[in-house]
Amino acid sequence: MEGITRKFTIATILILLVTLVSMDFGITGNVSADKAKSLTVVQQGKFITVQVNPVGYSGMPGKWIDMKIVKGTNSMDEQTKCDSRGPKSGTSQCNREIAEFSISGNQWKAGNIVQFNIRGTNIRSPQYVIK
């Protein structure tokens, strides 16, 4: 019985250790503030592209970017992906990590002031006026 208890304790410790390490390195999909430093917003017609500016030279796709109107309740979210240059060779990291928002329809109007943020972090864009 003592051998089973010891094996169970070791297995539990290993599982906790792997969980803590994966959370620290962003393997689980959670974003830590040290993996990105800012957001850049560019609008072309009815599309707004938000670029995640990572610490270092590459981004990891899969972050949720929230777009919220500053005064009101309109909101939208999109998940980041690699841009047309794709991932870095041999990795799942992006050369450039972006989220694209379509503002067609009547939910968003020219003159609306919006702000973007990476969900689960305090990283926000400056307020942006939709054109």
Total-model pTM:
0.72
pLDDT, one tens digit per residue, over 35-77 is 789 999 999 999 999 999 988 777 889 999 999 999 999 999 9
Domain range annotation of the chain: 1-30, 31-129
User: How does the average pLDDT of the chain come out, rounded?
Assistant: 83
Q: pLDDT at residue 125 above 90? A: yes
Task: Yes or no: say if 99 and 78 are a contact pair by the CB < 8 Å rule.
Answer: yes
Look at domain 31-129 and name its CATH class: mainly beta
Q: What is the pLDDT of residue 117?
A: 96
